[in-house]
Structure 1
Amino acid sequence: MRRLSYAMNLSVDGYTAAPGDDLSWSAPSDELFQWWSDRVAETGLSLYGRRLWDGMSSHWPTADQQPGVTPAHAEFARRWRDLPKVVFSSTITEVDWNARLVTGDAVAEITRLKAEDGGRMDIAGATLAAAAMRAGLIDEYAIVTHPVLVGGGTPFFTALDSWVSLELVETRTFADGIVLTRYETRR
């Protein structure tokens, strides 16, 4: 059975994107970027909502071919392209870059994927993660908190009908005061 992890950058006030989908506040240090790259290398399957997919698929497929690309960015681009991906959307009709499209019930498909053998699945995109969170499907939360208040935007967490008990399993401090807290869901 696969484990499902929800990992994203967020502001101290709990947002994954500022108003207007602004992510400029979350530019990673080299150390944090390497952590994200290593995480991609350790992931068996990545699940994307359409909005985050649009951003990732517009940059990373060819990022290693851009002038002046750093070795770390080239490595991430290769890892990202090689990673199997599932994109959940009812508004697009095709995906590429080692991905397949699901237009139906996201919770049913994530439940099916969790029942399979394989490496960890990462869910990316706050809207998609909210559906999985409400359904009780998330096994781990990896929260990378940046020392900034953005005042609104896309929240990391969704409203829940009941509490979810978590166990802290890791903390790490990166450059510029960025803190990773990783929790496992208590079942």
Structure 2
Amino acid sequence: MGKLTYGMNISVDGYTVDGKGELPWAGPDDEVHQFWNDRVRDTAVSLYGRNLYELMSAYWPTADQAPDISPVAAEFARLWRAMPKVVFSKTLESVDWNSRLERGDVVEVAKKLKAETDGMMDVAGATLAAPLVRAGLVDEFLVVVTTVAVGGGTPFFPALEKWVKLELVENRTFPSGQVLLRYVPVD
């Protein structure tokens, strides 16, 4: 059975993007980028919504061909292209880069994928993750807290009808001051 993880870089005040929907503040340094590379390398399948998929697919498929790209970012480009992705969209006509298009309900599809997948699954993006968090399907939360407060935007956690009690299973401070917090839900 697959283990569904949800992880992102967030502002210190808990947002995945700012009030304009932008995240220029969230760019990781090489050590944090390597952490995410290692996670992508171990991901059996990643779930994407249309917006984040379009953002990622506009850059990463050819990023490793840029002359000034760092080795760790070039590695991420290769890993991202190879990683199996399920893209949820009612409007996209097609997807590329080892992706398949899904028009079904994210909760129902995620339940099915968890039953069929051997290994780590990842949900990418706060909007797509929200119904999965509310349904109790997320097995692990990873936040890399970035050293900036943005004052508003899209929160990492959605509005919840009931509390989600978490146990801290890992914390790590990177030289940049960014902090990894890894949690698992507890009953």
TM above 0.5: yes
Aligned amino acid, residue 52 of structure 1: L
* Residue of structure 2 equivalent to 1:80: 80
Offset at residue 162 of structure 1 (A) = 1.2
* Residue of structure 1 equivalent to 2:182: 182
Offset at residue 92 of structure 1 (A) = 1.2
Give me the whole-angstrom Cα distance separating, in 1, the residues matched to 2:186 and 2:150: 30
- How many residues are paired up? 187
* Residue of structure 2 equivalent to 1:163: 163
Give me the whole-angstrom Cα distance separating, in 1, the residues matched to 2:21 and 2:108: 28
Structure 1 runs of 4+ aligned residues shifted over 6 Å read none
Aligned amino acid, residue 102 of structure 2: V
Offset at residue 176 of structure 1 (A) = 2.2
Give me the whole-angstrom Cα distance separating, in 1, the residues matched to 2:124 and 2:164: 20
* Residue of structure 2 equivalent to 1:153: 153
Aligned amino acid, residue 18 of structure 2: A
* Residue of structure 1 equivalent to 2:121: 121
Determine if contact 2:45/2:121 at 8 Å carries over to the other structure.
yes
**1:93 paired to 2:86:** no
Give me the whole-angstrom Cα distance separating, in 1, the residues matched to 2:151 and 2:85: 31
- Residues 62-87 of structure 1 deviation map (CA, whole Å, 9 limit, x = unaligned): 11111222221221111111100001
Offset at residue 35 of structure 1 (A) = 0.7
Q: Pick the structure with more helix per residue.
A: 1
* Residue of structure 2 equivalent to 1:24: 24
RMSD: 1.0
Give me the whole-angstrom Cα distance separating, in 1, the residues matched to 2:117 and 2:41: 17
Determine if contact 1:29/1:175 at 8 Å carries over to the other structure.
no
Aligned amino acid, residue 11 of structure 1: S
Percent identity, please. Answer: 58
Give me the whole-angstrom Cα distance separating, in 1, the residues matched to 2:57 and 2:117: 26
Q: Calculate the TM-score normalised by the size of structure 2.
A: 0.96
Q: Calculate the TM-score normalised by the size of structure 1.
A: 0.96
Give me the whole-angstrom Cα distance separating, in 1, the residues matched to 2:102 and 2:74: 28
Structure 2, unaligned runs of 5 or more: none
Offset at residue 3 of structure 1 (A) = 0.6
- Residues 90-125 of structure 1 deviation map (CA, whole Å, 9 limit, x = unaligned): 121211100001112111001100111311001001
Offset at residue 171 of structure 1 (A) = 0.2
Determine if contact 1:48/1:124 at 8 Å carries over to the other structure.
yes
Give me the whole-angstrom Cα distance separating, in 2, the residues matched to 1:166 and 1:157: 12
Give me the whole-angstrom Cα distance separating, in 2, the residues matched to 1:72 and 1:141: 23
